[in-house]
Structure 1
Amino acid sequence: MRVSELAQTGGVTAETVRHYTREGLLQPHRDPRNGYQLYDIESLGRLRFIDCLRSLGVSLPEIKQILSWADQGTAEFIEPVPLATQRGRLYLRAQEFQVIARWIDNMNQDKMTESFSLKELIESLGTGKLVFEANDSRSDH
């Protein structure tokens, strides 16, 4: 994949891909025919991993360290993993995304009267007391 293709597939801008490449977080291969930077499926996985960590507030130097451990195949970390301090926030973010996804599902299925309102959703994100649909017994989420 070229820069623009990786960016589009990964849900970021091409400039973000270029920035991560300059920082050494992504390592493209050069196409010998034209010199273009090419990224493989592993790069897409790394990009998504980086994007997730960034959304949790993990710094680029910390991400670089985590990725270097992955590249070295390190089974045990020498120092505390930056993610360990983000564990609670990670679970909260996951719950927030689930609540928003449920709200969107209900909105798309015209079930808004059976669910919580957008205002309730926003307020619950502010208070940390997340609203859940009481009758949501579907197992596909």
Structure 2
Amino acid sequence: MRVSDLARQAATTTETVRHYTDIGLLKPQRDPGNGYRHYNQSDLRLLRFAIKARSLGFTLTDIQSLATASEEGETPCGQVRSLIEQRLEDVEARIRELQALSQRMRSAMSDWQDKPDCHLDDGRVCGLIDAVVGEDELETSR
């Protein structure tokens, strides 16, 4: 099948198929007559696997490593479990960071509710932000 056929069957874009081919994840056969790439059912299975793995937070490097292990007859499921545990820890840490950021933003919005817009003549950019993060706090964080 051609790039467009593979993309359609995997519910993805032709750009994704081409990118995965360019990085060596997909390895289509070339038609010697016209040079067109021809993909087979194995390519479709691997592409669908890659799309599912990406939806779980796996990187393309992870996916290539898992595919290589499978091609070599290994069962990469243990590696999948380890990787997803690590990714889950990273995601949960990022969620905590984003929740803290959200709280700081809500607090700032609340503090700014009754403050007027004003032009500062002392070189500062925005008094609203300066009121939230004072210069003394910035000095200690550097």
TM range (shorter): 0.5 to 0.7
Structure 1 counterpart SS, 2:32: coil
Aligned residues: 87
Q: Is the 8 A contact 2:66 2:76 kept in 1?
A: no
Letter in 1 for 2:84: Q
User: Which segments of 5 or more consecutive residues in structure 2 lack a partner in the other structure?
Assistant: 88-142
Q: Higher helix share goes to which structure? A: 2
Q: Give the aligned CA root-mean-square deviation in angstroms.
A: 2.3
Q: Hey, what's the Cα distance between the residues in 1 that align with 2:20 and 2:36?
A: 16
Structure 1 counterpart SS, 2:43: helix
Q: Is the 8 A contact 1:58 1:83 kept in 2?
A: no
Structure 2 counterpart SS, 1:67: helix
User: Which segments of 5 or more consecutive residues in structure 1 lack a partner in the other structure?
Assistant: 90-141
Q: Pick from 71, 79, 86: which aligns with 2:84?
A: 86
Tell me by how many angstroms 1:41 deviates: 0.5
TM-score in terms of structure 2 length: 0.55
1:41 corresponds to: 41
Which structure's relative contact order is higher, taking Cα pairs within 8 Å and 6+ residues apart? 1
Question: CA offsets, 1:74-113, max 9 Å, x none?
Answer: 2478xx51444427x9xxxxxxxxxxxxxxxxxxxxxxxx
1:72 matched to 2:75? The reply is no
Tell me by how many angstroms 1:23 deviates: 1.1
TM-score in terms of structure 1 length: 0.56
- Judging changes above 3 Å, is the alpha-carbon distance between structure 1 residues 86 and 72 closer, same or farther for their aligned structure 2 residues? same
Q: Hey, what's the Cα distance between the residues in 2 that align with 1:16 and 1:83?
A: 26
Q: Hey, what's the Cα distance between the residues in 2 that align with 1:71 and 1:11?
A: 24
Greater Cα radius of gyration, structure 1 or 2? 2
Q: Hey, what's the Cα distance between the residues in 2 that align with 1:10 and 1:64?
A: 18
Q: Is the 8 A contact 1:26 1:43 kept in 2?
A: yes
Structure 1 counterpart SS, 2:74: coil
Q: Hey, what's the Cα distance between the residues in 2 that align with 1:73 and 1:26?
A: 18
